[in-house]
């Protein structure tokens, strides 16, 4: 579904991504883990069209998207749940969801948007209860659910999630990752950017380890969980035995 070949990018004169190559297959959860500053957010911003690549090639469902705009990427079916939620605080929950359904409305009409909104209320019951509440007054966990639901309103082919667990209590983190696993069970494809390596690898099919803009390890999520170097650097423990 998504193929990245020899990608380089950054900001001004600062090269952040250095010869990145990876792929995401349909129906997978693929996670990219790494410390702060590793380049994880920069990577998804390039895919989403928010940051221009300096070198390399990006393909989405076989189509060259190397220089595609954010609006065109959303229309193609690639959406981003941004780090820090970034909900529209002065708008209520329902209006946030309606904005997320803009591309769906253009393609399928208002009835499809209303149908998809009800689907998201089933997925996130707390949002149904808060549908007329201002997004800025929601808890952090509720705002994360709203950001996810807003992205899913587009009925995307690929959902990219940037640090969905940031700043959330452990029980809420567990709930968020349960929902991510459910998305895969429903046939969705997810590219998950996470600093919480354990939670990400436990839910993912495959993973990549990003360090100072380079991929240093890749493989099945179970293999990375068992890797001594990953455990020492990202899981805070050493394997015993």
235's tokens: 């899981």
Geometric angle at alpha carbon 133, from 102 and 183, rounded to 5°: 55
Q: What are phi and psi of 79, to 5 degrees?
A: -125, 155
- Map out the domains of the chain as residue ranges: 1-77+157-241, 87-155
Gap between the Cα atoms of 230 and 234, Å rounded: 5
Sequential pLDDT tens for the chain (241 residues): 999 999 999 999 999 999 999 999 999 999 999 988 899 999 999 999 999 999 999 999 999 999 999 999 999 999 999 998 899 999 999 999 999 999 999 999 999 999 999 999 999 999 999 999 999 999 999 999 999 999 999 999 999 999 999 889 999 999 999 999 999 999 999 999 998 899 999 999 999 999 999 999 999 999 999 999 898 888 765 433 3
How many other C-beta atoms lie within 10 A of the C-beta of residue 185? 8
Gap between the Cα atoms of 94 and 121, Å rounded: 10
pTM of the entire predicted model = 0.91
How many other C-beta atoms lie within 10 A of the C-beta of residue 20? 24
Gap between the Cα atoms of 45 and 163, Å rounded: 13
Three-state DSSP at 141 gives helix
Gap between the Cα atoms of 135 and 153, Å rounded: 16
Please name the residues in contact with 213: beta carbons below 8 A apart, sequence gap of 6 or more.
10, 15, 16, 17, 18, 20, 38, 39, 42
Which numeric CATH code is attached to 1-77+157-241? 3.40.50.300
Gap between the Cα atoms of 86 and 84, Å rounded: 6
Q: Facing residues of 235 across strands?
A: none
Answer for the pair 26, 1: CB distance below 8 angstroms, yes or no: yes
How many other C-beta atoms lie within 10 A of the C-beta of residue 208? 23
């Amino acid at each position: 579904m998504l193929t990245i070949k020899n990608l380089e990018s950054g900001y001004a004169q600062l090269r952040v991504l250095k010869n990145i190559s990876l792929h995401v297959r349909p129906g997978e959860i693929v996670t990219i883990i790494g410390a702060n500053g590793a380049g994880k957010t920069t990577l998804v911003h390039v895919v989403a069209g928010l940051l221009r690549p300096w070198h390399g090639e990006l393909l989405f469902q076989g189509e060259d998207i190397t220089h595609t705009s954010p609006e065109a990427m959303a229309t193609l079916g690639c959406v981003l749940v941004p780090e820090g939620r970034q909900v529209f605080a002065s708008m209520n929950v329902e209006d946030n969801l309606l904005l997320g359904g803009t591309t769906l409305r253009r393609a399928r009409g208002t009835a499809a948007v209303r149908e998809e909104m009800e689907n998201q209320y089933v997925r996130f019951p707390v949002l149904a209860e808060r549908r007329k509440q201002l997004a800025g007054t929601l808890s952090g966990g509720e705002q994360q659910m709203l950001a996810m639901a807003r992205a899913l309103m587009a009925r995307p082919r690929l959902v990219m999630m940037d640090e969905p667990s940031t700043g959330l209590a452990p029980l809420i983190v567990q709930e968020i990752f349960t929902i991510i696993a459910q998305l895969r069970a429903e046939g969705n494809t997810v590219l998950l950017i996470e600093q919480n390596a354990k939670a990400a690898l436990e839910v993912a099919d495959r993973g990549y380890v990003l360090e100072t803009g380079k991929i240093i390890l890749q493989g099945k999520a179970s293999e990375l969980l068992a890797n001594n170097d990953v455990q020492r650097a990202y899981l805070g423990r050493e394997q015993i035995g």
